[in-house]
């Protein structure tokens, strides 16, 4: 079967999914979870094959680790599927509605997008996570995983499709596509058949889609996030927020990459911050104002590139600013529009920061690390979007839907 035929079948199946009640969808999710549990042995056997091939072809240890599944990791995925079943159904939500002057009852109803393509790389759990989120939001899904995980992905897709059939739903609603780069390019040329493509992978994959996709793309983005310690900050709170934003999990997109400190508190705050952060193993790259205030041989001088970089590591750029304006300007110049935090007790400063900083999430007196579907109470997600159209922030169930106007009348015509 060609890629286009598979996608057409998924499109046909999507029309059935769109009308399903929550009960039917949750039942299917439960059957998927159960099948994954029951067929753990088979799945791990296929995974062992992928891992052996990856090792034989000398893939990096990090990549092999991303590929690797064991019973614990698979059970996390099973738990994830059950969590999706527990989330409210976004489909059918009436976002707003009113009776117009002519008597038309106008509502705006949440409906599935239709067919979602998810393009990913090594992690085989995405196969199941993406299928569960798309099924719950009433969308058919076309999965295109990386070649390194092909045995695992094929087995996972088979298990998911089997469970969907068992639930009395069309197995074509979860399409699995393998093959070279040309296949991917064909897939993202199918405008009109696929409603959105979501890349889950590195910058290279995202660039490829930005360049070639005719289908709209929603991409989870990286984050160059800042913590700004204002003149009116509670310095103990500022230290706790900075340490949490940098150290709690440095390798993720909502971790802080630059610390901005107002000149008025820099003399008191920076020695504390430098001591605590270096104690926790954070490498600091700082401006001249910081070295003027703190003499520590471990401090390295920052250049423009450091302020532009998402380190994703125990490394933090530091800069002293003369004013709130300078902090906002720095963030406008270097930020990636992900998550930005101010620590302050000054209401006016907080209000200006909240209004003037342009990002998916802006925090007052809290760590940037909260930008996350689970933390926001939205449940599982497919990453954090920093684009402005359609979805800004966690790409969760609701973001896999769109709105449709429905008008109920009794013969209204326009005069």
Residues that bind a copy of itself (CB under 8 A): 15, 18-19, 98, 100, 104, 106, 111, 113-114, 195-196, 210, 214, 216, 218, 234, 237, 240-241, 243-245, 248, 332, 350, 354-356, 358-367, 369-371, 375-377, 387-390, 392-393, 402-415
The residue among 171 and 197 lying less far from a copy of itself, judged by its C-beta, is 197
The greatest distance separating any two alpha carbons of the chain, rounded to the nearest whole angstrom, comes to 80
In the complex, minimum distance from the CB of residue 242 to a copy of itself, in angstroms, rounded to a whole number: 10
Residue 211 CB, nearest approach to a copy of itself (Å): 9
* Residue number with CB closer to a copy of itself (124 or 199): 199
Rounded CA separation 395/376 (Å) = 11
Gap between the Cα atoms of 303 and 292, Å rounded:
16
In the complex, minimum distance from the CB of residue 94 to a copy of itself, in angstroms, rounded to a whole number:
12
Q: Is the separation of the CB atoms in 257 and 289 below 8 Å?
A: no
Which is nearer to a copy of itself, 290 or 401 (by Cβ)? 401
> Which CB atom, from 62 or from 413, has the smaller least distance to a copy of itself?
413
Q: Identify whether the C-beta of residue 318 lies closer than 8 Å to the C-beta of residue 258.
A: yes
Please name the residues in contact with 133: beta carbons below 8 A apart, sequence gap of 6 or more: 84, 380, 381, 382, 396, 397, 400
**For the packed helices 150-166 and 40-56, what is the interaxial angle rounded to 10 degrees?**
160
Nearer to a copy of itself, 182 or 410 (CB): 410
**Tokens linked to 34:** 């159960």
Radius of gyration for the chain, computed over Cα atoms and rounded to the nearest angstrom: 24
Between 137 and 290, CB nearer to a copy of itself:
137
Contacts of 177 (CB under 8 A, 6+ apart): 3, 6, 142, 143, 144, 183, 187
Minimum distance from CB of 415 to a copy of itself (Å)? 8
User: Which residue, 152 or 213, has its beta carbon nearer to a copy of itself?
Assistant: 213
| Residues in a beta bridge with 94 | 109
In the complex, minimum distance from the CB of residue 301 to a copy of itself, in angstroms, rounded to a whole number: 28
Alpha carbons 170 and 83: distance in angstroms, whole number: 23
Shortest CB 213 distance to a copy of itself, Å: 11
Closer by beta carbon to a copy of itself, 109 or else 178? 109
Query: In the complex, what is the shortest distance from the CB of residue 145 to a copy of itself, in angstroms, rounded to a whole number?
Result: 24
Q: Nearest distance from residue 240's CB to a copy of itself, in Å? A: 6
Q: How far is CA 9 from CA 6, 174, 287, in A?
A: 5, 10, 58
Is residue 159 a contact partner of residue 36, using CB atoms and an 8 Å limit? yes
22-38 vs 40-56: helix axis angle to the nearest 10?
A: 70
């Amino acid at each position: 079967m060609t890629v286009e035929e598979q996608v057409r079948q998924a499109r046909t199946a999507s029309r059935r999914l769109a009308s399903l009640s929550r009960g039917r969808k949750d039942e299917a999710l439960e059957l998927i979870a159960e099948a994954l549990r029951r067929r753990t042995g088979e799945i791990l056997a296929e995974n062992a094959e992928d891992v052996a091939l990856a090792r034989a072809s000398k893939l990096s240890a990090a990549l092999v680790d991303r590929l690797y599944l064991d019973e614990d990791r698979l059970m996390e995925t099973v738990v994830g599927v059950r969590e999706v079943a527990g989330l409210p159904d976004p489909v059918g939500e009436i976002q707003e509605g009113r009776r117009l002057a002519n008597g038309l009852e106008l509502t705006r109803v949440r409906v599935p997008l239709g067919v979602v393509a998810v393009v990913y790389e090594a992690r085989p759990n995405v196969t199941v996570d993406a299928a569960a989120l798309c099924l719950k939001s009433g969308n058919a899904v076309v999965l295109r995983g990386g070649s390194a995980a092909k045995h695992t992905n094929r087995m996972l897709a088979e298990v998911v499709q089997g469970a969907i059939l068992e639930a009395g739903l069309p197995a074509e609603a979860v399409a699995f596509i393998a093959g070279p780069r040309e296949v991917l390019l064909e897939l993202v040329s199918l405008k009109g058949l696929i409603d959105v493509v979501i890349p889950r992978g590195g910058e290279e994959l995202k660039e490829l889609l930005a360049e070639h996709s005719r289908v709209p793309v929603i991409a989870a983005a990286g984050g160059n996030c800042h913590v700004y310690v204002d003149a009116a900050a509670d310095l103990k709170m500022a230290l706790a927020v900075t340490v949490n934003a940098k150290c709690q999990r440095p390798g993720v997109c909502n971790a802080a990459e630059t610390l901005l400190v107002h000149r008025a508190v820099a003399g008191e705050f920076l020695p504390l911050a430098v001591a605590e952060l270096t104690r926790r193993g954070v490498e600091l790259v700082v401006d001249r104002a910081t070295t003027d205030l703190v003499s520590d041989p471990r401090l390295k001088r920052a250049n423009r590139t450091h302020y532009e970089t998402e380190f994703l590591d125990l490394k933090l750029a530091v800069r002293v600013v003369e004013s709130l304006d300078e902090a906002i300007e720095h963030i406008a110049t270097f930020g990636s529009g992900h998550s930005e935090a101010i620590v302050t007790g000054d209401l006016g400063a907080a209000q200006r920061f909240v209004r003037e900083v342009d990002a998916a999430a802006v925090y007052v007196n809290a760590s940037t690390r909260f930008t996350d579907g689970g933390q926001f109470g939205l449940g599982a997600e497919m990453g954090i979007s920093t684009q402005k159209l359609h979805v800004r922030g966690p790409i969760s169930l609701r973001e896999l839907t769109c709105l449709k106007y429905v008008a109920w009348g009794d013969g209204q015509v326009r005069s």
